Homo-oligomer: A and B are copies of this chain.
């Protein structure tokens, strides 16, 4: 620890695990974005809330910025440390602390993986229903900091809906104990909801009490082949009307090509432009057949398969959930946009026109949570193109996409957050007045501007 600020921290907290190992700096200084070169001052691994508070107080005094760090599966650069920040990793604070069967709440430390939360719930006969592909690596603290969505939002909402209580350390080192698991609490501004989605810029989530719920009845998984874009939302409306949906996810032929090239089983003999994987309560099986027949009669669906075993259900889900991984080697440029559900058809048509005009030679892969109005667009980098050139071409297209989105009152970030990646376009979703208020709120929570500075705002 040659840096005197670090020596001071080590002196203040002799038991704190603190690393300046180049491998640790590299590993903990970046997230799944890969656009910035990691350059943190050090990585701290506090073991408890008191250590987090002490680190924040040290940071406020020395002016060292803190990057709160979870599983770093984020796609907007929210957990990147590229400017001499202290990475505050929650990896060691990863325990289940309490379960209350009457309140149906699970209290956890922030560094626990989403999958471990889901398993802890199942072990107790309940579920924690927020779910997405990064479940094994992402941490609940990061889920809360970005109000993570995923594949079950259509039924269960975003992370926000499942947070019963939060302990948070603010930029002054104060520990807040927000809402304490109450169902009803009309006692002033709900600061819990302000922290959810704040991307580590207001404080560090150091403990969370999550609501759990009863498992759904048995479900079935169905894959549908869809011949044209304008049929997609008709199929969704029909499914939503007739079935009790758990998930309704779409992807394109290009997405399927990548995921099958990456090892997944091709589901149909023929190729089709669009696919939907949907999961619904099995009690509605007769309705599912009616739904399928209606869609085929109308020409909205041209093929389909319903999983007859858990293994087949998993194989169908892999077609959707394996996409991100299958694209990783192409360093994809990602858009994560949302519009109101009613606006999806018009928006998708305009977007498709725009993307084919602007990306004639790039491989563009779409998928997403269409029942929430949320589309993911992945533009793959050609191997022979330099990354900087590629990103700047993509950013140009994003600026055109932003205009389309703005016209349709959509958002440039549905669930990935703003971080560093989308900062240039924050003003397309939020007005100047809103951004001024956000800055004012941040100043109240983090007067020294040490909490993830440069992210989001």
A residues adjacent to B (C-beta < 8 A): 100, 102-103, 105, 146-147, 149, 153, 158, 160-161, 170, 174-178, 180-191, 193-194, 196-199, 202, 237, 338-342, 369, 372-374, 409-418, 422, 426, 429-431, 433-438, 440-441, 443-445, 456-457
* Partner among B180, B187, B374, B415 whose Cβ is within 8 Å of the Cβ of A409: B180
* Partner among B170, B185, B413, B443 whose Cβ is within 8 Å of the Cβ of A414: B185
Q: A177: which B residues are within 8 A, CB to CB?
A: 431
Give bound CA distance, A440 to B172, whole Å.
Answer: 14
Specify the chain B residue showing the minimal Cβ separation from A414.
B184
Q: A338: which B residues are within 8 A, CB to CB?
A: 182-185
Establish whether residues A434 and B100, one from each chain, have CB atoms under 8 Å apart when the complex forms: no
Q: A103: which B residues are within 8 A, CB to CB?
A: 340-342
| CB proximity of A436 to chain B, nearest CB, Å | 8
Give bound CA distance, A374 to B182, whole Å.
Answer: 9
| CB proximity of A87 to chain B, nearest CB, Å | 22
Give bound CA distance, A259 to B436, whole Å.
Answer: 51
Establish whether residues B456 and A188, one from each chain, have CB atoms under 8 Å apart when the complex forms: yes
Known: A100-B342, A191-B437, A194-B194. A431 touches B186 (CB 8 A): no
Specify the chain B residue showing the minimal Cβ separation from A369.
B184
Establish whether residues A182 and B411, one from each chain, have CB atoms under 8 Å apart when the complex forms: yes
Q: A102: which B residues are within 8 A, CB to CB?
A: 237, 341-342
* Partner among B189, B341, B342, B438 whose Cβ is within 8 Å of the Cβ of A438: B189
Q: How many copies does the complex hold?
A: 2
Give bound CA distance, A342 to B445, whole Å.
Answer: 32
| CB proximity of A300 to chain B, nearest CB, Å | 16
Give 19 CB contacts A-B under 8 Å. Answer: A100-B342, A103-B342, A147-B190, A149-B186, A153-B184, A170-B437, A182-B410, A184-B338, A185-B338, A187-B412, A187-B429, A187-B430, A188-B430, A189-B202, A189-B441, A190-B194, A191-B438, A440-B440, A441-B441
Establish whether residues B434 and A191, one from each chain, have CB atoms under 8 Å apart when the complex forms: yes
| CB proximity of A185 to chain B, nearest CB, Å | 4
Give bound CA distance, A174 to B437, whole Å.
Answer: 11
| CB proximity of A240 to chain B, nearest CB, Å | 10
Q: A180: which B residues are within 8 A, CB to CB?
A: 340, 409
Q: A202: which B residues are within 8 A, CB to CB?
A: 189
Establish whether residues B194 and A411, one from each chain, have CB atoms under 8 Å apart when the complex forms: no
Q: A170: which B residues are within 8 A, CB to CB?
A: 433, 437
Establish whether residues A197 and B191, one from each chain, have CB atoms under 8 Å apart when the complex forms: no
Establish whether residues B193 and A413, one from each chain, have CB atoms under 8 Å apart when the complex forms: no
| CB proximity of A168 to chain B, nearest CB, Å | 10
* Partner among B100, B160, B194, B416 whose Cβ is within 8 Å of the Cβ of A189: B194
* Partner among B418, B435, B438 whose Cβ is within 8 Å of the Cβ of A186: B418
Give bound CA distance, A411 to B443, whole Å.
Answer: 28
* Partner among B175, B178, B186 whose Cβ is within 8 Å of the Cβ of A415: B186
Establish whether residues B445 and A443, one from each chain, have CB atoms under 8 Å apart when the complex forms: no
Specify the chain B residue showing the minimal Cβ separation from A190.
B197
Q: A161: which B residues are within 8 A, CB to CB?
A: 161
Give bound CA distance, A237 to B296, whole Å.
Answer: 45
Q: A445: which B residues are within 8 A, CB to CB?
A: 437, 440
Specify the chain B residue showing the minimal Cβ separation from A100.
B342
Q: A440: which B residues are within 8 A, CB to CB?
A: 440-441, 443-445
Give bound CA distance, A445 to B438, whole Å.
Answer: 10
Establish whether residues A153 and B183, one from each chain, have CB atoms under 8 Å apart when the complex forms: yes
Q: A339: which B residues are within 8 A, CB to CB?
A: 182
Give bound CA distance, A409 to B431, whole Å.
Answer: 38
Specify the chain B residue showing the minimal Cβ separation from A439.
B444
Give bound CA distance, A188 to B423, whole Å.
Answer: 10
Give bound CA distance, A77 to B374, whole Å.
Answer: 42
Q: A414: which B residues are within 8 A, CB to CB?
A: 182, 184-186
Q: A426: which B residues are within 8 A, CB to CB?
A: 187-188
